Amino acid sequence: MTPKERYKKLKQHLKDENPVLLEVIQEYEKLDKIAHSLGFISEEDSYTANISWWPLISVLGTFSAGKSSFINSYLGVKVQQSGNQAVDDKFTVICYGNNEKPTTLPGLALDADPRFPFYNISEEVEKVASGEGSRVNLYLQLKTVKSDNLKGKIIIDSPGFDADSQRDSILRITHHIIDMSDLVLIFFDARHPEPGAMRDTLEHLVSKTVEHRDGDKILYILNQIDTTAYDDNLEDVIGAWQRALSQKGLISGNFFAIYNEKAMVKIEDSAVEERLKRKKDEDLGRILERMEGVKVERAYRISKALEDFAKEMITSKLPLLKESLNRWGYKVLFVDILIILISLGAIGGAWFLGYIPPKPPVEMLISTAVGLFMLLLFVHFKARSLFAKKEIQKWQESGDEVIANAVAHNTRWYKPIFRIWSNSWIQKASLKLESIVEYSRSAIRKLNDQYVSPSGGIKED
């Protein structure tokens, strides 16, 4: 699907849902055009591919942490199998459907639809596991469920996370959905009193999220705390998990403790039962409140992401690209000047030694000039290609494919080399990007107008 077709589908999707986002999508088109012209993304790519255009809640965790039971309880429908052993090895995208019974569709339904967060995910899988991109059905499935709680949002249930056995492709998908989600629920099992035994899981599910630029969207949930009733050590268990999380970088933040009343253990001590229930009700209420607010948060997140993409180009990508192109251009220019000086020296030496007569014929002057010009062209383009490859390799080795691709784009043989020393192309791109940044901020103000009225309904100037 081309970016043009993608934008058409997204505009149809947003037309009736939120007019502000329909305007924002037009700014994403402008952003794509700028990025295409600079070589930061290919003509087939779009920044909209990094955004979930439906509110997205992801549920991650170990296989025994009660993720599926939590989802079934929230939906009021048993859509996911649950148990103490791994029962599903796929990422399951769950969205609203009109059929009375849940319907399961293959992963290809997600890979081909730009409205879903896994659009073109087969390409991401292929990058880390050659040949696996064509087997996307092994990693993903789509389920439709008739549940009012699903209207206007998508839930993703991850396979049970066993870090020792995770393949690179599974980790790539996990990191992808964390980036795309409006809310991430990471579940841990209170029945494992020694969080140190979960070190690998903590490494992948916590260490990779605590430094996320939007860390407030990530909730860490200790589930099945009813199992602490026998020893009446809820605070000790919670404290042990909080210390384990803090060792991975989570200093403070969204930590909750809950259990499922339908699957809870029998608690003999009524005081303990009341204390656990009070804790569960309070934390579960806060979790559900965040889940219900994802539609509003998603609108703000999309607008803010537009600003972030543009500002990243202004403050980071453009300066790095200019620095790299300057370095490349000066090397090529040095070789050009060196060849000219060597050629002129050779001609002068030949004239001094008598190989060239004092008054050479016109034919000799023309042939010498043509030969010199052809030599310069040959050496110039060889130098361009050689130094460009070295710059590209440098960025690839550092892991910055965006700059590597941009250097390749801007050092093509037909691109004039002297343009890189002109600030006009940087200034024009920066001005356009600044305009997008300002629009993003105005879009957030428009969203505020939908939800906020400081004047209490009084008309403001």
Between CA 287 and CA 110 the distance in angstroms is 27
Triad 77, 226, 56: Cα angle to 5°: 40
**Structure token digits, residue 113:** 């639809």
Residue 166: per-residue pLDDT: 47
Q: In angstroms, what CA-CA distances link 107 with 122, 136, 174, 189? A: 10, 6, 15, 29
Domains and CATH numbers, the chain: 1-51+299-453 (no CATH), 56-292 (3.40.50.300)
DSSP-based three-state secondary structure for 399: coil
Triad 157, 159, 165: Cα angle to 5°: 155
Residue 128: per-residue pLDDT: 59
Which alpha helices (H) appear in 191-233, and where do they start and end? 199-202
Give the start-end residues of each E strand in 207-345: 218-223, 255-257
CA 98 to chain centre: 31
Between CA 24 and CA 387 the distance in angstroms is 40
> Is residue 115 within 8 Å of 13, Cβ to Cβ?
yes
Per-residue pLDDT of the chain (461 residues), as tens digits, is 677 877 887 788 777 667 778 889 999 999 999 999 999 999 888 888 777 777 889 998 877 788 888 998 899 888 877 655 445 577 888 988 888 888 888 877 777 776 676 777 777 666 656 666 667 777 788 899 999 988 888 898 887 655 444 456 677 777 777 877 889 898 888 776 555 545 555 566 665 555 555 667 888 888 888 877 766 777 777 777 777 766 666 555 578 889 888 877 777 778 888 888 898 999 999 999 999 888 888 888 888 889 999 999 999 999 999 999 999 999 999 999 999 999 888 888 877 777 777 777 888 778 888 888 898 999 999 999 999 999 999 999 998 999 999 999 999 999 988 888 888 888 999 999 999 999 999 999 888 887 765 555 554 44
Residue position matching structure tokens 């996320």: 212
Which residues does 342 contact at the CB level (< 8 Å), separation at least 6?
A: none
Q: What are phi and psi of 28, to 5 degrees?
A: -65, -35
Between CA 128 and CA 401 the distance in angstroms is 14
Residue 176: per-residue pLDDT: 75
Please tell me whether the overall predicted TM-score, pTM, comes out greater than 0.85 for this model: no
**Structure token digits, residue 223:** 């589930």
User: How would DSSP label each residue in 91-111?
Assistant: EEEEEE-SSSS-EEEETHHHH
Residue type, 186: I
Between CA 442 and CA 447 the distance in angstroms is 9
Residue 169: per-residue pLDDT: 63
Residue type, 296: V
Residue 302: per-residue pLDDT: 87
Between CA 234 and CA 269 the distance in angstroms is 14
Between CA 411 and CA 419 the distance in angstroms is 11
Residue 53: per-residue pLDDT: 75
DSSP-based three-state secondary structure for 208: coil
User: How would DSSP label each residue in 347-396?
Assistant: HHHHHHTTSS-SS--HHHHHHHHHHHHHHHHHHHHHHHHHHHHHHHHHHH
Residue 35: per-residue pLDDT: 95
Residue 388: per-residue pLDDT: 96
